[in-house]
Structure 1
């Protein structure tokens, strides 16, 4: 029986990055320098590194929010120079992403409404993704009535409803308490398996990286940060941080930051 990693490695390339660098003005150091990375379709890839190393900057470049300084950044065989519907972004702070005057259902349908999707199709899609993220029964609530974890589920449902090929997730569980965070990690793996999306997930938490990722790209301390090592993680899901192999990977990755 093939594993998830075997299936991913046989998939086409979703993102190709070569010699990518970024500085914010001519007189500053590079924030990122000489980034080389290939990500396959359907892969769950982790960008792991300390705060300030440029993880979010790299994610924003893939999203098309900010321009590269030099190098190549190709998504779905096209050079990235703007945002695109093939990429959906889930931010750390759901409060900043959700519209407080809209209900859960209305938030999830917002992008579809902007694309003038017929009402019947909007309702069908929103119902499916609201149920997928575990919010069935909460459709009529407003963001202020939801917990932090529920708000992140709404944000994820809204992104998924727009059917992007790639999910870009910038420390989406960083503001949650430990128990809610663990629940959301498990839910994200379930949703990823069901939707087969390509996921790039930013975190500075080694344990979170190992619980989630097919591969982990370890980034160096900035400035001029780069991906120094990439770890293949062939552990089956669900993963337990008490397992021996899990702890061996943890120790090897932790050594980069000691």
Structure 2
């Protein structure tokens, strides 16, 4: 079998924020990360450990202070990266309909109207938004807004999805529904996904690999877990709970 290609390679990555001239503060230090193409990878760690900072570096929103980052895609659209934010309210345009929000990036690229409409219709269907195309964001639930944000990112055909706690503000039932939807979409599209969370259960429900980040400052990925459970994952099984206990034990070592 041919080797699986890597999508993201980060070697000895570090990020500092200068508080004074002589003593920079390391938010991240010595981060090594390799993510295979098509993999669902979870960045898991306590609040404030630098998960979002690392995700923003991979997205290209922040620059590394030290180290080397390589993004490997065949996509020429923003080099193949798409970002899904924690809050859809700040990401969507309230004066545009669902369909118009999804097609916005395509419009900026001057994609012809009929092609934009066809692409938007495809992702409306893929993300379970059928029947909501003409609604405005204010008429949607939180979960539906996140579907719109995800559909808009997917419409630009990224190879890599970067997701910063996108379900954190949702109620438990909506969150579980969105987790199931994301797994379905990932399996249908074969995107590479990097998903940030501080929720152990969510990490195990979603991820093939879980990168455990240490408490900051100078945070890094200390342990990587391979999650061998089949999809969809049943929270009530002994195998799921055994995996949960092993991951939880790691954080108990931190005193969290």
Scaled to the shorter chain, the TM-score interval is over 0.9
- Which residue does 2:148 correspond to in 1? 154
Unpaired runs of 5+ in structure 1? 1-6
Question: What displacement does 1:77 show?
Answer: 6.9
Task: Give the whole-Å Cα distance in 2 for the aligned partners of 1:20 and 1:77.
Answer: 20
- Which residue does 2:12 correspond to in 1? 19
- Superposed CA RMSD in Å reads 1.6
List, as ranges, runs of 4+ consecutive aligned residues in structure 1 with deviation greater than 6 Å. Answer: none
* Residue from 72, 75, 89 that aligns with 1:76: 72
- Contact 1:90–1:159 (CA<8 Å) still a contact in 2? yes
Question: What displacement does 1:10 show?
Answer: 4.5
The number of residues matched between the two structures is: 247
Task: Give the whole-Å Cα distance in 1 for the aligned partners of 2:240 and 2:11.
Answer: 30
* Residue from 110, 119, 123 that aligns with 1:125: 119
- Contact 1:85–1:162 (CA<8 Å) still a contact in 2? no
- Higher deviation after alignment, 244-253 or 207-216: 244-253
Task: Give the whole-Å Cα distance in 1 for the aligned partners of 2:249 and 2:217.
Answer: 20
- Which residue does 1:4 correspond to in 2? none
- Contact 2:73–2:80 (CA<8 Å) still a contact in 1? no
Question: What displacement does 1:29 show?
Answer: 1.9
- Which residue does 1:58 correspond to in 2? 54
Unpaired runs of 5+ in structure 2? none
- Which residue does 1:3 correspond to in 2? none
Superposed CA deviations along residues 127-146 of structure 1, whole A, max 9, x for unmatched, are 00011000011000000000
Task: Give the whole-Å Cα distance in 1 for the aligned partners of 2:43 and 2:95.
Answer: 34
Task: Give the whole-Å Cα distance in 1 for the aligned partners of 2:135 and 2:59.
Answer: 30
Question: What displacement does 1:215 show?
Answer: 0.2
Task: Give the whole-Å Cα distance in 2 for the aligned partners of 1:11 and 1:101.
Answer: 43
SS at match of 2:196: strand
- Contact 1:102–1:142 (CA<8 Å) still a contact in 2? yes
Scaled by the length of structure 1, the TM-score of the pair is: 0.93
Task: Give the whole-Å Cα distance in 2 for the aligned partners of 1:182 and 1:124.
Answer: 29
Superposed CA deviations along residues 107-153 of structure 1, whole A, max 9, x for unmatched, are 00000000111111111110000110000110000000000000000
Question: What displacement does 1:257 show?
Answer: 1.2
